[in-house]
Amino acid sequence: MNTGAAVFAAKGFRSQEAEAFPHIDLIADQRRHRSAESLDEALRRIENLPINWDSYGAAAPHGHAVQRAREALAQLKAQLPPSLWQFAFVNPTPPGGIQLEWDIPGQIYAELEIPPQGEEFFLLFEKTGRTEQWHVQTMDEAVARLTQFLLPVSPLES
């Protein structure tokens, strides 16, 4: 039984329903990235998700959001050290956007949400119980703020 089938079986669905959503394997795999290159591969897989990929009516990822996520990853790869990429994830969002996130347990959480049309970007930063939220108009500003937040962090290698 594939991971998607196991998820559905655990929720009480019949195997036919589970096999109808094999892309759940992709969602389950999102927590296994260890490099910037593996995020590129995950984004390629996310780009091909169908409508209803989450079985709750989610939109398929919008091409503009995927392209903007590629641009963000390219800029961030040039600025962030390899030690931070093991904590990075890329996820589809139900409206058809893309979310890049960094989750370093006990230290920080940061996310960049790219909406389906990519018209405005949302940033969320959490550190030592303090949360900051930003809405920015350009990808350059989003990447600059994200980099400024992440660079002082020195994660322990795992």
* Domains (range + CATH), the chain: 1-32 (no CATH), 33-150 (3.10.450)
* Structure token pair of residue 132: 């900051």
Per-residue pLDDT band at 106 (split at 50, 70, 90): confident
Q: Model confidence at 22, in pLDDT bands (50, 70, 90)?
A: very low
Inform me whether the pLDDT recorded for 4 exceeds 50.
no
Alpha-carbon span 134 to 23, nearest angstrom: 32
**Has residue 9 got a pLDDT over 90?**
no
User: Mind listing the pLDDT tens digit for each residue in 64-74?
Assistant: 999 999 999 99
Find the radius of gyration of the CA atoms of the chain: 16
- pLDDT of res. 27: 47
**CA 94 – CA 2 distance, rounded (Å):** 23
Task: Show the CA angle centred on residue 80, arms to residues 29 and 43, nearest 5°.
Answer: 30
Sign of the four-CA dihedral 74, 48, 142, 120: positive
Please write the tens of the pLDDT for every residue from 44-63: 999 999 999 999 999 999 99
Mean local confidence (pLDDT), 21-26: 47
Q: Mean pLDDT over all residues of the chain?
A: 80
pLDDT of 34: 64
